Amino acid sequence: MKKLSYVLVFLLITGLLLGACGGQEEAPVVVDEPVEDVFLACQVTDVGGIDDKSFNATAWKGMEDAVSALGIEAKYLESQQQTDYEANINAFLEEGCDLIVSVGFLLGDATAAAAAANPDQKFGIVDVNYLAADNLYGSGFSINEATFLAGYLAAGMTETGVVATYGGIQIPPVEIFMDGFVLGVEKYNEVHGTDVQALGWDYVARNGLFTGNFESTDDGRTMGESLLDEGADIIMPVAGPVGAGTVAVLEERGTGMVIGVDNDWAVQYANQADQILASALKNMDLYVYETIEAAMNGTFAGGNYQGTLDNGGVGLGYGGVDVPDDLKGEIEALIPQIVSGEVATLPVAGEEPAEAGLPDLGGVEVTVAVENAYLPFNYIDPDTGEPAGWDYDVWDEICVVLNCVPVYVEAAWEGMIQAVADGQFDAAGDGITITEERDEIVDFSVGYVAIEQRLLVRVDEDRFETIEDIVADTT
């Protein structure tokens, strides 16, 4: 708590004194007047930074709203790496903040330790709702309810029949975005008898596509390019600033739409609003504002806030794309069903998705073309002389599940596409670039690896300066 300060108010009283000595100035009167302390709220960001156009920025909006409406002072410290979490919290402890709000699941341990060591300090935290302390008010968000609506919307708007999602780091607050999205797609398929595919997340196996960070827009570009190449025309990135890379790719290609997360991406990316289909809103600013208000008026208590569709903690906001009124009506009708629990927006334990039933191929032989020259996917082991690699392993496993017998046939990679299209092989496994022409004659699996090839040049090389200087002569 800031120290109570005082100002000295000097009241100069001038008067005339009647007497033999004539007029005389009276001595100054000093009055001590207390100045009301200003509430100080402090935010520790995750590594995305305060202007991440995502959860850090949304939480900070709650701080800024409190500055405007409640007259508080607000400060923030940006975490550049995970080791900054504890240091930033300790810095705010030293500064005497009335409330410290940390932002993000990854700050849970550092916040819990600080709360335990400083029982008289009030703490809040975004995306952590499993801690219990009298001086800590955590928060969770049923964002799956909003992304369920987003998935339903995506399935109703796709032109390719393929939509996708990907995450930053695989942690529970990211997974539930993806859970809701895929279940929303499945709900649309159930209602309309369609077969829209959702790439990027398997809620039964609990695995999918993740960039491994919340910072790299380059990773967002790579992921966006890969998913577009696989046919997805609507993508929901759940990765903070990483998603900006995907927005940029869609703008450059002039195709596809994005579903934003956390806040309104049609506002955050106003210049690309015509490619923002909608945003799954996670109203962390509301939680932050209400926590500050409670700390100011003496009603702060330990516990956890849970944002839902019902209390306005989460929601769906439409972007700059025209959505048919009948589809909007279907989405609106789902909300009371979700609130009542009639429609589930998270996977039910032990329940397989409707399309998870797999065929029994009855022991049929499946011919698989392989090059045997593409480490580590298919090659001849020099020690044993036997074929080996990922393609062999995965097809062996597929045939265990489907009751088939893989028969591997060595073939040159440049002829594989046409050979599969002509029925010479049932399938093929190799490193092959997906092009529009190839995609028209064969079906490609979901991508399982992306390779960015680079040319290495000596640092003292002076025969060329740009990539154009070393382009191959094709004449």
Q: Is the pLDDT of residue 9 over 90?
A: no
Q: What is the pLDDT of residues 290-324, one digit of tens each?
A: 999 999 999 999 999 999 999 999 999 999 999 99
Q: What is the pLDDT of residues 173-231, one digit of tens each?
A: 899 999 999 999 999 999 999 999 999 999 999 999 999 998 899 999 999 999 999 99
Spatial CA neighbour of 236 closest among 153, 160, 315: 153
Q: What is the pLDDT of residues 351-362, one digit of tens each?
A: 555 444 567 888
Q: Which residue(s) pair with 306 in the sheet? A: 140
Q: What is the pLDDT of residues 400-418, one digit of tens each?
A: 888 889 999 998 877 888 8
Compute the distance between CA of residue 149 and CA of residue 316 in angstroms, rounded to an integer.
Answer: 7
Give me the sign of the Cα torsion angle 437, 443, 445, 446. Answer: positive
Q: What is the pLDDT of residues 109-143, one digit of tens each?
A: 999 999 999 999 999 999 898 888 999 999 999 99
Compute the distance between CA of residue 153 and CA of residue 160 in angstroms, rounded to an integer.
Answer: 14
pLDDT bin (cut points 50, 70, 90) of residue 452 is: low
Average pLDDT, the chain: 87
Q: How many helices (H) and strands (E) does the chain have?
A: 13, 22
pLDDT bin (cut points 50, 70, 90) of residue 448 is: low
Three-state SS at 322: coil
Three-state SS at 123: strand
